[in-house]
Each structure stands twice: as structure tokens, then as C-alpha cells.
């Protein structure tokens, strides 16, 4: 991954939008998508994982920079006033590199990726600066209280390129995090669209039920008028009352379903479930709406290119290949440089107050007990698993596209049929009403005609929102937001 792409991915993940303190009313799909993206816990967690990955990369790259340490000592001897005898005091300590070259657990798949420890690899260079002050002898004028200051600088030269390889693995992990963020965002948007259409469906079904209640009330009014005129039997009035009661039951259920859908939709956005939701229905699908182009082969090919899951599978395979190279360097030679200086303002004997040294260290590991070989074999196993995963992703993406195409065609065909059926049902209901008023037919025929009309209108609502949901599913399967 080049530097520009890495930078853009990092900025994408780390630029967290400020969360809204209060949730404005949700009126359309754009409002819902915006709120969901701001509030989504999964997206925010994904950004934190990306931030942690970037800090791990920074930790790895810190091993390329010089490591410095400063040490000051003061020694006071208890026999400082003695002019005879001899004594010695020495001070010194090994200063290890405070930034070991370690890669955090960032595996392709489930296996951890970690640079071998400094005891088995020579990439962590240790620089030791020892300051020794000796006192004693026959002169009583020697100051036995000694002070010293030492400075040590070490530089890992990364002869085998382990740090560079670890940095490349970190870049790949950052790309995985960015792709995962993209996947979560696409899933979230599909979920919001699906919930949005479900709520609109519930509200539309309330309108259908309310219309059926109004029709039943009118039918009951006519039946009572006809009964009072003596043209129909009381049985027709009872049938009209029963039909009205049944439709009222349906209306009550439809209204309660709207409240449940509104509550669930707001909760899915991560906002207060009591947040006002006043959705605007999209343009109704007409009978002559054309079916979108559904070339299965082209859509599957486009999905394989656009889907973040497909790219993740490729990146995992690349990570496994680089892990094999990383563990293959377990017995590679390493080279380190060290510069140290020491200042003692009052040396015990005649000598220089300031001393220094420059050293180069070359380490040739002979054996690590088979650790590197075992790790390399584990990385090869990861590579084979990544290849299996890539094939699995390919088949899964293909199946999702095919299923989405079927769902779009099914909903579109049902919608076209429903439009024809509802026109026929409306005409049949009108005729049944006329026949009942003229005393030619019974209330039972009116009820049957109204039930058929309500079912046809319900079918249109379901087909309409099934179609919109299927289009959203198809876009998700194609890797579109």
C-alpha cells in the first residue's frame, strides 16, 4: 500500500465526527443515515481499532530512531577519612533499549504476528555504558566521594530488514481496518434503509386499514338504512357490523405496529426511542416502472471488485505471505551501533575527566531451537487458510448477488400484478355496493368484495416496499453505499 493510500485510509478512520448532543426530528432517509453514522457504536469502535493499529505502527517505527539514555551516579564511601589501607567502589549498570522491536498481535486470520524476542533475535540492540571509579591508596588527600554522568546512544541498523517488513505488515493491518470500517458502514446503511422502508410499510398499511374501516362504516350505514326501509333483512346489518368490527381490529393492530416500528427504527439509529419520526414516503412505484438491468454475470464481477470483504480476503493472503518472510529472518544477522560518553568531575586517580567510546556490534545467530522454523510453518498454514477464505468469500458474494437479483425481480413482478388486481377489486366493490342498494345482492357480497379490495391494496404496499428493500439489498451486495 503506497503512502498516499495509507494516509487517506488513516484520515478516513481517525476523523471521528462530533456526536450530536440532541437528536433532531427524523423526516427522511438522509436524516436517518446521518444520525446512524454519527451514533453507531460499531463504527466508533472500528475507528478506535484503527487508531490503535496506527500507534502500533508508530511503536515499530520507533526502533529505527536512535535510542538515548542519561545516567547520573553519586558514591559516598564510609571510610572516606582513612589514609591507609585500600578500598574500591565501582558503579555501573546495563542500559537496555527501552523500545524493543515488537509487533502487536495483528494476524491474518486468527494467528498472532509478533517479532521474535530480543533474546532470540539480534534486532534489539543493547548498549551498556559502565562507569567505574576506584578509590584507595596511601594518599589521604584523595576525595572518595565520586560523581559521574554518562550518556549512551544506540542505533539499530536493521540489517535484515525486519523493521521494514513489520512496518509493511502494519500497513496491511491498517488497510484491513479501513476495509472493515467500509463494510460496517455499508451494513449500517442497508440496515437503516431496510428499517426505514419497514416503518413506511407499517404506516401505509394503517392507511389501508383506515380506508377499510371507513368503507365498513359506510356499508353499515347503508345496511341500516335499507333495513329501516324494509328492503333487507337484519342479517345484512349483522354482517355489516361484523365486517366493521373485524376491520377495526386490523386498524388497531396496524397502528400499534407503527408505534413498535417507529420505536425500533429510532433505537436502531442509536437515538432516543422517543425521538420524533415523521417520515416522507418515496414516490410510489407505478405499473410501468421499468425493471433495472440485472445482468447476473456483470453484477457478480462488479461486486467482486467493489466489495470490501473481497479486498480483505486478498489483504489477508498478502499478510500471510509476508509473515512467512518475517519468520524466515529468525536467524538473520543483525548490526547495531553504540556511542557512549562519561564525565567524572573528580576522578580518584590521575586520568581524564571525560571518556567516550564508539562500537559496532554484529550478531550471527546460530540456533534458536527451531522456533523460527515452527513460526514459519504456522505462517504457511495461515496462508492456506487465507486462500480458503478467499474462495469462501467469492462464493458468498456470488450467492448474495444472485439472491438479491431474485428478490428484485420477484417484488417487481408482484407489484405489476397487484396494480392490475387492485383496479379489478375496486370495480368489483363498486358493483357490489350498487347491487346491494338496489336490493339485487346481499351484504355478504359487499363484505367479500371489500375484503378482496383490502387484500389487493395490502399486496401493493408489500410489493412496493419489498421492491425498495430488494434494491437496497442489491446495492449492498454490489458494494454500493
Report the SS3 class of residue 414.
helix
* Residue-wise pLDDT tens digits, 428-468: 999 999 999 888 888 999 999 999 999 999 999 999 999 99
**What DSSP assignment string belongs to 89-141?**
EEEEEEE--SS-----S--STTS---PPPTTT-SSS--EEEEEEE--BSS-TT
* Pairing mode of beta strands 89-95, 354-363: unpaired
Q: What is the CATH number of domain 29-74+145-478?
A: 1.20.1600.10
pLDDT score for 104: 36
pLDDT score for 22: 52
**What is the number of other CB atoms lying within 10 angstroms of the CB of residue 203?**
19
What is the residue extent of each domain of the chain? 29-74+145-478
Ordered per-residue pLDDT tens for the chain, 481 residues: 444 444 444 444 444 444 334 556 788 888 888 888 888 888 888 888 888 888 878 877 787 788 888 888 776 665 544 433 333 333 333 333 332 333 334 333 334 434 343 333 333 343 433 343 444 443 444 455 667 888 888 887 877 788 888 888 888 888 888 898 999 999 999 999 999 999 999 999 999 999 999 999 999 999 999 899 888 889 999 999 999 999 999 999 999 999 999 888 888 888 887 777 877 776 666 666 678 889 999 999 999 999 999 998 899 889 888 888 888 887 788 788 888 888 777 765 556 778 788 888 888 888 878 888 888 888 888 889 889 988 999 999 999 999 999 999 999 999 888 888 998 999 999 999 999 988 888 899 999 999 999 999 999 999 999 999 999 999 999 998 7
End-to-end Cα distance, the chain: 23
pLDDT score for 307: 92
Quick one: how far is CA 44 from the chain centroid?
8
pLDDT score for 147: 78
pLDDT score for 284: 62
- 175 within 8 A of 315, measured Cβ to Cβ: yes
Orientation angle between helical segments 308-328 and 296-306, nearest 10 degrees: 50
* Residue-wise pLDDT tens digits, 344-398: 777 655 567 787 888 888 888 888 788 888 888 888 888 898 899 889 999 999 9
pLDDT score for 170: 84
Measured CA to CA, the distance from residue 358 to residue 324 in angstroms comes to 36
Measured CA to CA, the distance from residue 136 to residue 63 in angstroms comes to 43
Amino acid at each position: 500500500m503506497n503512502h498516499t493510500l495509507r494516509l487517506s485510509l488513516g484520515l478516513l478512520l481517525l476523523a471521528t465526527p462530533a456526536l450530536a448532543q440532541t437528536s433532531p426530528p427524523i423526516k427522511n432517509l438522509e436524516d436517518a443515515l446521518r444520525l446512524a453514522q454519527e451514533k453507531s457504536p460499531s463504527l466508533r469502535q472500528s475507528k478506535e481499532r484503527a487508531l490503535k493499529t496506527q500507534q502500533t505502527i508508530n511503536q515499530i517505527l520507533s526502533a529505527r530512531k536512535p535510542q538515548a539514555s542519561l545516567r547520573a551516579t553519586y558514591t559516598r564511601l564510609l571510610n572516606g577519612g582513612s589514609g591507609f589501607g585500600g578500598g574500591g567502589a565501582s558503579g555501573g549498570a546495563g542500559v537496555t533499549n527501552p523500545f524493543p522491536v515488537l509487533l502487536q498481535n495483528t494476524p491474518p486470520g486468527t494467528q498472532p504476528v509478533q517479532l521474535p524476542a530480543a533474546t532470540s533475535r539480534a534486532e534489539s540492540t543493547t548498549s551498556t555504558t559502565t562507569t567505574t571509579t576506584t578509590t584507595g591508596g596511601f594518599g589521604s588527600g584523595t576525595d572518595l566521594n565520586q560523581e559521574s554522568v554518562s550518556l549512551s546512544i544506540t542505533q539499530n541498523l536493521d540489517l535484515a530488514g525486519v523493521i521494514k517488513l513489520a512496518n509493511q505488515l502494519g500497513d496491511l493491518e491498517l488497510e484491513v481496518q479501513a476495509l472493515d470500517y467500509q463494510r460496517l458502514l455499508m451494513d449500517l446503511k442497508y440496515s437503516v434503509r431496510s428499517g426505514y422502508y419497514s416503518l413506511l410499510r407499517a404506516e401505509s398499511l394503517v392507511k389501508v386499514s383506515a380506508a377499510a374501516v371507513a368503507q365498513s362504516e359506510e356499508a353499515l350505514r347503508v345496511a341500516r338504512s335499507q333495513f329501516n326501509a324494509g328492503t333487507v333483512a337484519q342479517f345484512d346489518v349483522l354482517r355489516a357490523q361484523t365486517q366493521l368490527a373485524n376491520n377495526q381490529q386490523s386498524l388497531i393492530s396496524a397502528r400499534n405496529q407503527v408505534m413498535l416500528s417507529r420505536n425500533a427504527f429510532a433505537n436502531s439509529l442509536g437515538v432516543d426511542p422517543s425521538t420524533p419520526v415523521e417520515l416522507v414516503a418515496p414516490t410510489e412505484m407505478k405499473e410501468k416502472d421499468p425493471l433495472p438491468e440485472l445482468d447476473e454475470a456483470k453484477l457478480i464481477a462488479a461486486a467482486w471488485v467493489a466489495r470490501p470483504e473481497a479486498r480483505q480476503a486478498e489483504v489477508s493472503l498478502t499478510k500471510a505471505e509476508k509473515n512467512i518472510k518475517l519468520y524466515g529472518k529468525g536467524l538473520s544477522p543483525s548490526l547495531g551501533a553504540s556511542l557512549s560518553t562519561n564525565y567524572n568531575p573528580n576522578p580518584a586517580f590521575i586520568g581524564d575527566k571525560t571518556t567516550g567510546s564508539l562500537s559496532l556490534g554484529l550478531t550471527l545467530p546460530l540456533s534458536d531451537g527451531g522456533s523460527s522454523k515452527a513460526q514459519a510453518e504456522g505462517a504457511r498454514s495461515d496462508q492456506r487458510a487465507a486462500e480458503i477464505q478467499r474462495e469462501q468469500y467469492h462464493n458468498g458474494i456470488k450467492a448474495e448477488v444472485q439472491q438479491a437479483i431474485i428478490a428484485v425481480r420477484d417484488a417487481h413482478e408482484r407489484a405489476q400484478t397487484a396494480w392490475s388486481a387492485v383496479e379489478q377489486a375496486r370495480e368489483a366493490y363498486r358493483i357490489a355496493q350498487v347491487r346491494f342498494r338496489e336490493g339485487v345482492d346481499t351484504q355478504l357480497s359487499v363484505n367479500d368484495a371489500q375484503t378482496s379490495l383490502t387484500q389487493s391494496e395490502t399486496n401493493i404496499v408489500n410489493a412496493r416496499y419489498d421492491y425498495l428493500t430488494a434494491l437496497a439489498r442489491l446495492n449492498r451486495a454490489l458494494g454500493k453505499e
